[in-house]
Amino acid sequence: MSRYYTGPVSDHFDGVRFFDPRGAPPKSRSDLLRWMVDRHWRGAKSAWPAWAPSPHADRPPARVDGAAWRIVYIGHASLLIQTAGLNLLLDPVWSERASPFRFIGPKRVNDPGIAFADLPPIDAVLVSHGHYDHLDVVTLSRLAAAHRVRVITPLGNDRVMRNHDTANKAEAYDWDHRVDLGAGVAVTLVPTRHWTARNLSDRNMALWASFVIETPGGNIYFVADSGYGDGWHFRRARERCGPLRLAILPIGAYEPRWFMRDQHMNPAESVQALIDCGAELGLGHHYGTFQLTDEPFDAPLIALAEALHAAKIPPERFRALRPGEVWEL
């Protein structure tokens, strides 16, 4: 049995596995088998394009000083945030597949929005949890070699990174721990409604989290993966870490709902999460790069526009970018 963390029992750790007291456990293996049968044998999985290139490609400046933000969507859940003279990467994945294997598993349908060689000096990396579309050990090793980066991650994921490459400078923290990154920037790990695993034997043996990033220009709430539930996690982030200027929220990988509802939001739920957390602005992610679930390629963007219209929220308040597209604030 894989063990990534040992520590005292808490309200979300039983001594072996982590859990979310306000969440839901992941689906069973029999549920997973049912989903696989539906999507592969009954045609429930929508066809995606084999290649869907973005019209954008970014070459960031070395630094962005002061309270200004420069945010680049790299693809899926990967973003670059430049502010206060610091460069932060969120859940960086430059690999061709989001998979433990190089020859099988979800494959990119577009290039990362920034070529790896064009990255500015990276000061810190935030990795939310251990699923392969978020914790990419190959990319982290490349970053360690090229940038000697500091990696902030929830408990247990540091072991995953160092087991792959001892050069990874990973620091692991529990929910509600605040980490100073310097230059007036800090990050707090906060609960999120999800789970994690790297294989069939290590389910929830590492922790998962969202992040609130404090910057001179305001607070950024990065939710990598999360179900909506009753909205408690988003209201808690507002109460504990608000006010929030920007919420980066997932809008993809949500079908079929009977399987995904507890762990992944659809666009309507992400719009409600924006309302619940009280952020002034929203930015969508987790769509259009790796096909992990059954909805069509363009469904998240269409559903987001419909949900914003229904909630009477102007589209410029909750944006969705293509890889390589930049949002400057």
**Which pLDDT score is estimated for 41?**
75
Residue 4 falls inside a structural domain: no
Number of domains in the chain: 1
Average pLDDT over residues 234-255: 98
d(CA 228, CA 226): 6
Average pLDDT over residues 115-121: 98
Q: In what order do the strands lie in the sheet with 281-285?
A: 178-182, 185-190, 210-215, 218-222, 246-250, 281-285, 318-320
DSSP secondary structure of 57-117: -----S---TT--EEEEEETTEEEEEETTEEEEES---SSBSSSSSSSS-B-SS--SS-GG
- Tokens for 31, please give them: 């549920």
**Which pLDDT score is estimated for 183?**
97
Residue 140 pLDDT exceeds 60: yes
**Which pLDDT score is estimated for 1?**
57
CB 96 within 8 A of CB 132: no
Q: C-alpha angle 78/73/105, rounded to 5°?
A: 45
d(CA 219, CA 172): 21
Residue 6 falls inside a structural domain: no
Residue 217 falls inside a structural domain: yes
DSSP state of 28: P
CB 89 within 8 A of CB 78: yes
**Which pLDDT score is estimated for 136?**
98
Residue type, 272: Q
Whole-angstrom CA distances from 120 to 14, 80, 87 are 41, 10, 7
Max Cα-Cα span within the chain = 54
Average pLDDT over residues 185-199: 97
Residue 219 pLDDT exceeds 70: yes
pLDDT in tens, 40-68: 777 778 999 999 999 999 999 999 999 99
pLDDT in tens, 270-323: 999 999 999 999 999 999 999 999 999 999 999 999 999 999 999 999 999 999
Residue 214 pLDDT exceeds 80: yes
**Which pLDDT score is estimated for 9?**
97
CATH of the domain at 231: 3.60.15.10
pLDDT in tens, 169-179: 999 999 999 99
Residue 11 falls inside a structural domain: no
Q: What is the mean pLDDT of the chain?
A: 96
CB 138 within 8 A of CB 84: no
Q: C-alpha angle 29/134/98, rounded to 5°?
A: 70
Residue type, 79: L
Burial of 243 (0-12, 13-18, 19+ CB in 10 A): exposed
Per the listing, tokens 């597209």 go with 325
Model confidence at 37, in pLDDT bands (50, 70, 90)?
confident
Q: Is the pTM higher than 0.95?
A: yes
Residue ranges making up the domain that contains 127: 29-38+49-328
Nearest to 325 by CA among 95, 119, 75, 63: 75
CB 288 within 8 A of CB 52: yes
